């Protein structure tokens, strides 16, 4: 009989958490896996219907109360930070309300399993309160000034699955735990390499000012001979601003917005038709967030697997782009800087395309997750033996 696994996450966009979905798929042949997530309520409200996922609901009034409170206080903190640059606000909705809902659901529904994997610190704190020692999956990192860092009992973390040693050391300084390094990358298969005629730029991922979407689109204002397809979700205000501010380019089909959801297999084929990609973060976000400065984004690895060289911000998390010759890093968003990066890749395009595939092979999810699954299997076998002896 298969051992059972619970993967806990506080987010409501499970279809956009490929690490969790890929982990589910690679564990499912050996374990009975269930994901506990929140019902999609922002962006594209699409649920994953192919996996065993328990969707939790929030209270409509409490949700809006906490979100509006967060908005008001966060807005005030923008002005406070001008006087006290170190001042930070930790959002109540994500750090207080959602953990409360998760904890209540676990107790009410009596959710348990042989292996508990908690995603990120707020869910880990809940899991430790309910289950004791659990496994930890790190996707997004709160700055270590967030009080949640002090609430985590490092002695009750059975293992850590994280993107890099730099991020592990930030979360668990001076502590030696079983650790496995796994990027938010798809499985790379040689037969996925395509030979389509490539053209245009692709923006894959959320349309968000934190991702510097407007800085990216300003390049196409300055160089309207180029064309970009934007593939991803967006908040209504962001989408409205894009449609208003870049209406002329949208009308001329120099900017195309495509919000249709595609599964990973279809998405890679879709990306393979494009010549260049972007992986941007706003500089303000990078300066104030260890998370954004150190983690390669999932959209980067999707571009790599599709053989799409990228123009990316020059941050520690994107150094692998230079190491594999998979794109060009830039230090500002000036249109002429983006143009120069594009021309550099265009002049030796095959080198950069092959660099993408080399990186995709190295970080392929199946190769990187295998030692972790072997570790979990051994742990469950050891536990079974100790219980029967």
Tell me, what's the pLDDT at 151?
Answer: 95
Average pLDDT on 168-173 reads 96
**pLDDT category of residue 353 using cuts at 50, 70 and 90:** very high
Tell me, what's the pLDDT at 12?
Answer: 87
Please give the distance of CA 325 from its chain centroid, rounded to a whole number: 23
Tell me, what's the pLDDT at 42?
Answer: 63
Domains, the chain, with CATH or none: 3-183+365-388 (3.40.50.2000), 190-363 (3.40.50.2000)
Length of the chain: 389
What confidence tens digit (pLDDT) does each residue in 274-295 have?
A: 999 999 999 988 988 899 999 8
Q: DSSP state, 169?
A: H
Tell me, what's the pLDDT at 43?
Answer: 55
HSE-up of 319 (CA within 13 Å, CB side)? Answer: 6
Among all chains, which residue has been given the structure tokens 């000036």?
Answer: 334
Average pLDDT value for the chain: 92
Average pLDDT on 183-196 reads 90
SS3 389: coil
Q: Please state, for a pLDDT cut of 70, what percent of the chain lies above it.
A: 97
First to last CA, the chain: 19
**3-state secondary structure labels for all residues of 77-112:** HHHHHHHCCCCCCCCHHHHHHHHHHHHHHHHHHCCC
HSE-up of 317 (CA within 13 Å, CB side)? Answer: 24
Selection from 142-156, 337-351, 372-386 with the highest mean pLDDT: 337-351
Average pLDDT on 1-18 reads 90
Look at residue 264 and tell me whether its pLDDT is greater than 80.
no
> Residue 291 and residue 220: Cα distance in Å, rounded?
29
Structure-token pair, residue 308: 């799409």
What confidence tens digit (pLDDT) does each residue in 193-251 have?
A: 888 999 999 999 889 888 999 999 999 999 999 999 999 888 889 999 999 999 999 99
Average pLDDT on 337-365 reads 97
Whether the Cβ atoms of residue 20 and residue 48 lie closer than 8 Å to each other: no
What confidence tens digit (pLDDT) does each residue in 47-102 have?
A: 878 899 999 999 999 999 999 999 999 999 888 888 887 788 889 999 999 999 99
What confidence tens digit (pLDDT) does each residue in 294-312 have?
A: 988 888 999 999 999 999 9
The H or E element spanning position 63 is helix 60-83
Tell me, what's the pLDDT at 81?
Answer: 80
Q: Please state, for a pLDDT cut of 90, what percent of the chain lies above it.
A: 76
Query: What string of DSSP letters covers 213-275?
Result: HHHHHHHHHH-TTS-EEEES-B-HHHHHHHHHHTHHHHHTTSEEEE-----HHHHHHHHTT-S
SS3 208: coil
Number of C-beta neighbours around residue 191 at 10 A: 5
Tell me, what's the pLDDT at 101?
Answer: 96
Number of C-beta neighbours around residue 290 at 10 A: 19
Tell me, what's the pLDDT at 262?
Answer: 81
Angle at 348 between CA 342 and CA 353, to 5 degrees: 85
Tell me, what's the pLDDT at 162?
Answer: 97
């Amino acid at each position: 009989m298969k051992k059972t696994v619970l993967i806990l996450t506080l987010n409501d966009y499970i279809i956009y958490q490929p690490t969790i979905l890929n982990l589910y798929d690679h564990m499912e042949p050996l374990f009975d896996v269930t994901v506990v997530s929140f019902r999609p309520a922002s962006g594209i409200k699409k649920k994953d219907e192919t996996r065993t996922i328990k969707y939790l609901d929030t209270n409509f009034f409490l949700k809006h109360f906490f979100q509006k409170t967060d908005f008001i206080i966060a807005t005030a903190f923008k002005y406070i930070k001008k006087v006290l640059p170190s001042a930070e606000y930790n959002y109540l909705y994500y750090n207080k309300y959602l953990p409360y809902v998760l904890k209540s659901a676990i107790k009410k529904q009596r959710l348990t399993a042989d292996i508990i994997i908690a995603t990120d610190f707020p869910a880990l704190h809940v899991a430790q309160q309910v289950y004791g020692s659990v496994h930890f999956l790190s996707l997004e990192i709160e700055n270590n000034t967030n009080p949640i860092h002090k609430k985590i009992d490092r002695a009750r973390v059975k293992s850590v699955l994280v993107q890099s040693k730099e991020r592990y050391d930030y979360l668990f300084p001076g502590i030696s735990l079983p650790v496995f390094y796994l990027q938010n990358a798809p499985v790379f298969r040689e037969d996925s390499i395509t030979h389509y005629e490539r053209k245009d730029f692709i923006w894959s991922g959320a349309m968000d000012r934190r991702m510097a979407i407007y800085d990216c689109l300003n390049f196409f204002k300055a160089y309207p001979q180029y064309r970009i397809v934007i593939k991803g979700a967006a908040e209504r205000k962001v989408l409205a601003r894009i449609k208003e501010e870049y209406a002329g380019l949208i009308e001329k089909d120099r900017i195309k917005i495509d919000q249709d959801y595609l599964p990973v297999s279809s998405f890679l084929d879709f990306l393979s038709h494009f010549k260049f990609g972007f992986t941007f973060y706003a500089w303000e976000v990078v300066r104030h967030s260890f998370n954004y400065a150190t983690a390669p984004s999932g959209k980067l690895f999707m571009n790599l697997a599709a053989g799409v060289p990228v123009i990316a911000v020059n941050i520690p998390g994107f150094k692998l782009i230079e190491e594999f010759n998979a794109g060009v890093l830039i230090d500002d968003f000036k249109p002429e800087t983006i143009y120069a990066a594009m021309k550099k890749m265009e002049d030796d395009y095959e080198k950069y395309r092959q660099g993408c595939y080399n990186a995709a092979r190295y970080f392929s999810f199946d190769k990187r997750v295998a030692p972790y699954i072997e570790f979990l299997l051994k742990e469950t076998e050891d536990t079974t033996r100790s219980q029967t002896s």
